[in-house]
Amino acid sequence: MSRPDGEVGGIVGEFFSLKDETDADYLVMQVGDFYEFFGDDAEEVSDLLDLKVSQKSSHGSNYPMAGVPVDKLTPHLKQLVERGYRVAVADQHETADGHAREITRVVTPGTLLETTDADAQYLAGVVRADDERYGLAFADVTTGRFSVTAVEESDPDAASDRAFTELYRFDPVEILPGPEVRNDDAFLDRVRERTDATLTLHRADAFAPGRATHETKEQFGDETLASIGLADGGTGASGRGDRPQIQAAGALLSYVAETGTGVKSSMTRLQSYEGDDHVSLDATTQRNLELTETMQGDRDGSLFATIDHTATSPGKRLLKEWLQRPRRDVPTLRQRADGVAAFANSALARETVRETLEGAYDLERLASKAAHGSADARDLLRVRETLALLPEVADAVASDPTLADSPLAEVASRPDREAAADLCEELDAIVEDPPGTVTEGGLFRRGHDEELDDLIERHEEAEEWIATLDDREKRETGITHLQVDRNKTDGYYIQVGNSETGKVPDRYDRLKSLKNSERYTTDELNERERQILRLEERRGELEYELFAELRGRVAEAADLLQSVGRALAELDALASLAVHAVENDWVRPTLRETGDLDIEAGRHPVVERTTEFVPNDLRMSEDRQFLVVTGPNMSGKSTYMRQVALITLLAQIGSFVPAAAAEIGVVDGIYTRVGALDELAQGRSTFMVEMQELSNILHSATDESLVILDEVGRGTATYDGISIAWAATEYLHNEIRAKTLFATHYHELTTLADHLDRVENVHVAADESDGDVTFLRTVEDGPTDRSYGIHVADLAGVPDPVVERSQGVLEKLRADEAIETKGGSSGGTKQVVFDVGSGELKSGGPEERGTGERQTGERGSDGFGSEQRGTGGCPEAGANADAVREKFGEDAEDVLAEIADLSVSDTAPVELLNRAQEWQERLDGE
Ligand SMILES: Nc1ncnc2c1ncn2[C@@H]1O[C@H](COP(=O)(O)OP(=O)(O)OP(=O)(O)O)[C@@H](O)[C@H]1O
């Protein structure tokens, strides 16, 4: 038992009563020079942090205890918090009658300032105002960024999807759900499944509109709110008077304040954005396209890891943000691409800029630390060094004609260079190699402050006096073994060897005797020592004051630091895109406001890095809007479709693309539905997930979207699957008119091209000769006729007898022959027939359906006799005609003849239905 049932006194009791005050996962409490965990906390934390557990006895019982020295708390806290835990810290302070302890702060994933990870660290608030509207706020205390947005949709599910998409895009480490959202189990389940964020229940009243608005105004001021249309009376993105995004923002601010971590001061800029600026990229699509991590959750192998060549953390963050939030506005994209092009064409200048950037520190994070008051002298030095790079970078850009003539010149000259130079000059006051503490002096150069200079001078004089004291004393006393030194217990002293203590003058006072020597002091030395201590103390105080002042000025210049930081990050991200383009032969795409997608010799940006890649073209236009992609298993259908999505996405972040040439009509959204990998593990039906994703696409896509469907309908019975795929195709083609690529093994769908104007077939080619299949990886017009699934089974190492037997079964199925089941309970063989009507294998002899004789029409393109499907069980034309007439009426024979004449593949499904209905009506039978 580690938590006592009854009353416990002493330190352990104090720990448990403080623990009752907090809902944090762990409590750590200061006890003298240590911070200690007790009870279960000690046991759990010791595992996580590799600490030793000892036993603390209190009132006759023992309790587990684990601790860290006071100055080692931060790294341990950081480890816990980065794993998603919230940790309350109780500090000890002196009182008249001893010590008291109270919780001073709760460190949480979203409020940890000490992160070393380059990634943004967002704290998110989500409010649902009513079913169709959500407000979201995102704060990164490490960089001071604060963004809000509102999401509104006509349908509650679509609104919830979009809110989740925004959350997923920012990838927060901690989320505060508002009062409505915390009761929405479906939403919360999704958050838990798809993100690593810690969910924190902040008090509900903090989300109330009045209180939240007050908090937000206090933090950012009325003017900021007004400037982004969110002040009183402003409607924001919602178009209504109330603003759920402000509720989310206010709750975030009050939460940050209540954690007591003091990081609220770092948040200085409020940005509001509207969904319309960006390409809609739902959470599923971000995952399916493996933008920042692979489907297996690894960073390596993602698009971001592949294209990232940035030199700085802010550059990395920005490039990732671009990738997660592609844009729609062509002018911005052209500007970025102009920048990439300029860097791509000027290798020398590009490398100069990149090398210079390597010396840059994270100005956004340093600005936050300065605002929070935790920046030390080394941090300010980093600010100075980074600011000093601005003119270097700007000059490198200005002195290269190609760069100077590109938007890069504007980026480099955007920050206020003069203000940066002024701050740099102020920061010159810091010495080259300052100490890690800010309270003990030694931080400033001479010339910064008169009083300090005077103190330093007097201090140096006194030290000089002491430094030369031994020589003077040796001369005066004639003692040769004499030395002057200082230590903590004795202060300054004169040490004389035992052999010469007889020469010691009267003015020496003995301090202590050592084995071979004696230590003395003198009145004069005492006086100097007091002087030095006074000077040191004053110098420490004065330097701290001066330092805090300077740090305050850096904090005030947060905007300047953010703007320099942003400019350097932008140059870094653009240079990184140029490096990748040059090294991998990417080209600049031509961007159009809307319309065609025309890619010549396109490649998959990630797969091309590890494979001898076969490039492929893509052409989509108004009259070629929907491509049905067929081809054998493993031939490259998914790769082809993903490469189209990724090329479009890269173009819409301003990047070059892996192709010989590309014309991209910008899209307003990219939607994908590809094979679900992990939902089964989460206990959800794969088919259910597939249908939810399809439903989302059919609700959200527009005629300006790009839709990628990989084998929709595969998760259910063949005929249900084909029907859904068929109907979804018609809907996307007729109603939505989105540019769509649809890979399928249902070859029935290839006939759609004959009926729907803008549907075309393409296939990934394979070559079959002498029973060997070679994947050519080339995409050609027209449908394919084979799946080669058995060939893939063979490649995958399925045992030979199974492969051979599959081949035999396939041939029988193709020939519509009965299959003999092997190894039945009777030990003999039994014959079954694949009933194409129901998609089931039925027992019975081949005589029930004829032995391999074709019954109607020609074999379907997939070899499964698709045109025969639905004919099972129909009476043969040669059967007893009278009996048929008697049972089904006079028209029966005509109806049968019409059915026999009908070409199923040339008839639209709707017409087929109409005809079937008409036939039924003409037949008298039941
Ligand atoms: N153009 C290409 N050049 C070279 N290799 C390729 C190309 N396209 C695909 N590949 C490789 O072929 C393999 C199969 O590709 P992919 O998964 O796209 O096939 P698929 O047709 O979608 O398969 P399935 O129908 O079984 O899902 C992958 O390992 C991929 O790396």
User: Looking at the predicted structure, is the pLDDT value of residue 845 above 70?
Assistant: no
The neighbour count for residue 192, using CB atoms within 10 Å, is 12
φ, ψ (nearest 5 deg) of residue 345: -85, -10
The b-or-e profile of 19-50 (16+ CB within 10 A means b, else e) is beebebbbbbbbbeebbbbbbebbebbbeebe
pLDDT-above-90 percentage for the chain: 44
Q: Which of 270, 235, 232 is nearest to 253 (CA)?
A: 270
The Cα angle at residue 82 between residues 266 and 560, in degrees rounded to 5? 25
Q: Alpha carbon of 427 to those of 244, 382, 448, 455, 567: distances in Å?
A: 42, 10, 10, 21, 21
**Is 744 a pocket residue for ligand 1 (Cβ < 6 Å)?**
no
Residue 569 has a pLDDT of 96
Query: Ligand 1: which of 294, 306, 607 to mutate, most ligand atoms within 8 Å of CB?
Result: 607
> Phi-psi category of 296—alpha, beta or left, where left has phi over 0 and alpha has psi -120 to 50?
alpha
56 is in an annotated binding site: no
Q: Are 449 and 400 in contact (CB under 8 A)?
A: no
**Is 614 a pocket residue for ligand 1 (Cβ < 6 Å)?**
yes
Query: Ligand 1: which of 609, 614, 634 to mutate, most ligand atoms within 8 Å of CB?
Result: 634
Q: Are 765 and 631 in contact (CB under 8 A)?
A: yes
More confident residue, 599 or 368: 599
In a 13 Å sphere around the CA of 170, the CA atoms on its Cβ side amount to: 28
Distance 632 CA to ligand 1 centre (A): 10
Q: And the tokens for 907?
A: 């008839």
265 is in an annotated binding site: no
631 is in an annotated binding site: yes
User: Looking at the predicted structure, is the pLDDT value of residue 488 above 90?
Assistant: no
**Is 633 a pocket residue for ligand 1 (Cβ < 6 Å)?**
yes
At 625, the amino acid letter reads: Q
pLDDT tens, position by position, 446-477: 888 899 899 989 988 988 999 999 999 999 99
User: Looking at the predicted structure, is the pLDDT value of residue 598 above 60?
Assistant: yes
Lowest mean pLDDT among 67-76, 292-301, 715-724, 868-877: 868-877
Closest residue by Cα to atom 11, ligand 1, is: 636
Average pLDDT for 282-308:
90
Average pLDDT for 264-279:
79
Q: Which of 715, 606, 614 is nearest to 650 (CA)?
A: 606
**Is 635 a pocket residue for ligand 1 (Cβ < 6 Å)?**
yes
Lowest mean pLDDT among 292-296, 772-776, 902-906: 902-906
Q: Alpha carbon of 663 to those of 342, 580, 596, 651: distances in Å?
A: 20, 20, 7, 9
In the predicted model, what is the mean pLDDT of the chain?
84
Q: And the tokens for 424?
A: 């740099």
pLDDT range class, residue 490, cuts 50, 70, 90: confident
Residue 309 has a pLDDT of 97
Distance 319 CA to ligand 1 centre (A): 28
User: Looking at the predicted structure, is the pLDDT value of residue 382 above 50?
Assistant: yes
User: Looking at the predicted structure, is the pLDDT value of residue 712 above 70?
Assistant: yes
Q: Are 202 and 176 in contact (CB under 8 A)?
A: yes
Task: Report helix, strand or coil for 435.
Answer: coil
The b-or-e profile of 827-860 (16+ CB within 10 A means b, else e) is eeebbbbbbbeeeeeeeeebeebeeeeeebbeeb
Which atom in ligand 1 lies closest to the alpha carbon of residue 616? 1
634 is in an annotated binding site: yes
Distance 783 CA to ligand 1 centre (A): 17
Q: And the tokens for 703?
A: 């005629």
pLDDT-above-70 percentage for the chain: 85
Distance 898 CA to ligand 1 centre (A): 44
More confident residue, 131 or 426: 426
Residue 677 has a pLDDT of 47
Q: What is d(CA 241, CA 234) in angstroms, rounded to the nearest whole number?
A: 7
Q: Which residues contact 340 (CB under 8 A, 6 or more apart)?
A: 574, 577, 578, 581, 588, 654, 655, 656
pLDDT range class, residue 784, cuts 50, 70, 90: confident
ipTM, interface predicted TM-score of the complex:
0.98
Residue 716 has a pLDDT of 63
**Is 637 a pocket residue for ligand 1 (Cβ < 6 Å)?**
yes
Distance 637 CA to ligand 1 centre (A): 6
Q: Which of 718, 726, 667, 734 is nearest to 694 (CA)?
A: 726
Average pLDDT for 513-542:
91
User: Looking at the predicted structure, is the pLDDT value of residue 317 above 90?
Assistant: yes
The neighbour count for residue 6, using CB atoms within 10 Å, is 6
pLDDT tens, position by position, 641-663: 999 999 999 999 999 999 999 99
More confident residue, 89 or 893: 89
Residue 875 has a pLDDT of 39
The Cα angle at residue 421 between residues 415 and 423, in degrees rounded to 5? 100
72 is in an annotated binding site: no
User: Looking at the predicted structure, is the pLDDT value of residue 284 above 90?
Assistant: no
Average pLDDT for 891-904:
79
Residue 820 has a pLDDT of 54
Which atom in ligand 1 lies closest to the alpha carbon of residue 603? 1
Which atom in ligand 1 lies closest to the alpha carbon of residue 775? 12
pLDDT range class, residue 617, cuts 50, 70, 90: very high
Which atom in ligand 1 lies closest to the alpha carbon of residue 610? 31
Distance 638 CA to ligand 1 centre (A): 6
β-strands 87-95, 98-107 pairing = antiparallel
Distance 607 CA to ligand 1 centre (A): 9
Q: What is d(CA 141, CA 146) in angstroms, rounded to the nearest whole number?
A: 8
Q: Are 266 and 149 in contact (CB under 8 A)?
A: no
The b-or-e profile of 92-128 (16+ CB within 10 A means b, else e) is beeeeeeeebebebbbbbbbbbebeeeebbbbbbbbb
Q: Alpha carbon of 826 to those of 76, 809, 829, 833: distances in Å?
A: 69, 21, 8, 19
User: How many helices and strands (H and E) does the chain possess?
Assistant: 30, 30
Q: Are 85 and 59 in contact (CB under 8 A)?
A: no
**Is 309 a pocket residue for ligand 1 (Cβ < 6 Å)?**
no
Q: What is the DSSP letter of 227?
A: H
Residue 860 has a pLDDT of 35
User: Looking at the predicted structure, is the pLDDT value of residue 831 above 60?
Assistant: no
Domains assigned to the chain? 10-107 (3.40.1170.10), 123-277 (3.30.420.110), 300-429+553-584 (1.10.1420.10), 450-548 (1.10.1420.10), 590-792 (3.40.50.300), 803-864 (no CATH), 874-926 (no CATH)
The neighbour count for residue 516, using CB atoms within 10 Å, is 10
Q: What is d(CA 459, CA 534) in angstroms, rounded to the nearest whole number?
A: 9
More confident residue, 581 or 864: 581
Q: What is d(CA 408, CA 568) in angstroms, rounded to the nearest whole number?
A: 10
**Is 777 a pocket residue for ligand 1 (Cβ < 6 Å)?**
yes
227 is in an annotated binding site: no
Q: Name the helix (H) or strand (E) containing 56.
A: strand 54-58
Q: Which residues contact 374 (CB under 8 A, 6 or more apart)?
A: 113
Q: Which of 467, 502, 503, 501 is nearest to 486 (CA)?
A: 467
Average pLDDT for 153-162:
83
User: Looking at the predicted structure, is the pLDDT value of residue 127 above 90?
Assistant: yes
User: Looking at the predicted structure, is the pLDDT value of residue 818 above 90?
Assistant: no
**Is 81 a pocket residue for ligand 1 (Cβ < 6 Å)?**
no
Q: Name the helix (H) or strand (E) containing 385.
A: helix 377-398
pLDDT tens, position by position, 859-875: 333 333 333 333 333 33
At 754, the amino acid letter reads: D
Q: What is d(CA 166, CA 548) in angstroms, rounded to the nearest whole number?
A: 39
φ, ψ (nearest 5 deg) of residue 362: -85, 90
Which atom in ligand 1 lies closest to the alpha carbon of residue 764? 21
**Is 639 a pocket residue for ligand 1 (Cβ < 6 Å)?**
yes
Closest residue by Cα to atom 26, ligand 1, is: 633
Distance 636 CA to ligand 1 centre (A): 3
User: Looking at the predicted structure, is the pLDDT value of residue 850 above 50?
Assistant: no
**Is 631 a pocket residue for ligand 1 (Cβ < 6 Å)?**
yes
Which atom in ligand 1 lies closest to the alpha carbon of residue 641? 18
Residue 359 has a pLDDT of 95
Across-strand partners of 520?
494, 510
Q: What is d(CA 698, CA 869) in angstroms, rounded to the nearest whole number?
A: 29
**Is 788 a pocket residue for ligand 1 (Cβ < 6 Å)?**
no
**Is 601 a pocket residue for ligand 1 (Cβ < 6 Å)?**
no
Distance 624 CA to ligand 1 centre (A): 24
Distance 798 CA to ligand 1 centre (A): 20
Which atom in ligand 1 lies closest to the alpha carbon of residue 615? 1
**Is 613 a pocket residue for ligand 1 (Cβ < 6 Å)?**
yes
**Is 352 a pocket residue for ligand 1 (Cβ < 6 Å)?**
no
Q: Which of 127, 147, 109 is nearest to 187 (CA)?
A: 127
The neighbour count for residue 80, using CB atoms within 10 Å, is 22
474 is in an annotated binding site: no
Closest residue by Cα to atom 10, ligand 1, is: 636
**Is 723 a pocket residue for ligand 1 (Cβ < 6 Å)?**
no
**Is 611 a pocket residue for ligand 1 (Cβ < 6 Å)?**
yes
Q: What is d(CA 719, CA 916) in angstroms, rounded to the nearest whole number?
A: 18
The DSSP annotation for 637-706 comes to: HHHHHHHHHHHHHHHTTT--BSSSEEEEE--SEEEEE----STGGGT--HHHHHHHHHHHHHHH--TTEE
The residue to which tokens 């209905």 are assigned = 917
Average pLDDT for 14-29:
92
- Tell the burial category of 404 from Cβ atoms under 10 Å away from its Cβ (0-12, 13-18, 19+): middle
Residue 905 has a pLDDT of 63
637 is in an annotated binding site: yes
At 60, the amino acid letter reads: G
**Is 602 a pocket residue for ligand 1 (Cβ < 6 Å)?**
no
**Is 607 a pocket residue for ligand 1 (Cβ < 6 Å)?**
yes
Across-strand partners of 493?
485
φ, ψ (nearest 5 deg) of residue 889: 95, 175
Residue 204 has a pLDDT of 92
Q: Are 631 and 761 in contact (CB under 8 A)?
A: no
Residue 341 has a pLDDT of 98
Q: What is the DSSP letter of 733?
A: I
**Is 557 a pocket residue for ligand 1 (Cβ < 6 Å)?**
no
